[in-house]
Amino acid sequence: MFSFFKKKAQLPKCGRLIRYIPKHDGFGRVLYGEFIFAKEDIQNELIKKLENNPHLFDGHEGAIFNWIGNSDESINEVTDVPEIWNRFIYIADELIHQGLCISCICSVCHNKLPLDSLINDDDNELKNGWNSNKLFCNNGHLLLRAETTHIILSDYQRGKA
């Protein structure tokens, strides 16, 4: 199995601004968002997440936390989240829901989008199958999709027995 820890020496040093460009969701659907976050906001979100879920220190969240913790404040350029950390999508989703995204761009429209113009389509009714938080630009392009809950109901539970 590929280990993201083996690539540590090849990771770019990050500065104060972090860019996340998701390519696909968990089902292979193309995503068109480009998001910029402040390093401090990512760090604060990870502190909360890791305090509540210490087992995540052994995964992507712990590796991202260490990467952010070794940042170089003198770097003024935006640093991209390494693609090996596919669980960053959950951090991005949480920060966007909290209004902590500095910049959002749709790669199809090529527009910088204010957060309040984004269309949030979260699966709150908990349907059978994967439920997710979805974020669209005002032209309907899928910017971000984070799977949140997987519900499996038997035919009996769905009333089909």
Cα 72 to chain centroid distance, Å, stands at 22
What is the reported pLDDT for 152? 64
What is the reported pLDDT for 42? 97
Asked if residue 66 is part of any domain, the answer here is: yes
Q: What is the average pLDDT across 113-123? A: 77
Q: Give the separation between CA 59 and CA 46, rounded to whole angstroms.
A: 12
pLDDT-derived band at 22, boundaries 50, 70, 90: very high
Asked if residue 26 is part of any domain, the answer here is: yes
Asked if residue 6 is part of any domain, the answer here is: no
Range of the domain at 147: 15-151
Asked if residue 62 is part of any domain, the answer here is: yes
Asked if residue 31 is part of any domain, the answer here is: yes
Token pair for 143: 């910017």
- pTM for the model stands at 0.82
> What tens digit of pLDDT does each residue of 24-44 get?
887 788 999 999 999 999 999
Asked if residue 120 is part of any domain, the answer here is: yes
Q: What is the average pLDDT across 72-89? A: 92
- Write the CB contacts of 64 (distance below 8 Å, at least 6 apart in sequence): 42, 46, 81, 85, 88, 91
Total number of domains in the chain: 1
Asked if residue 160 is part of any domain, the answer here is: no
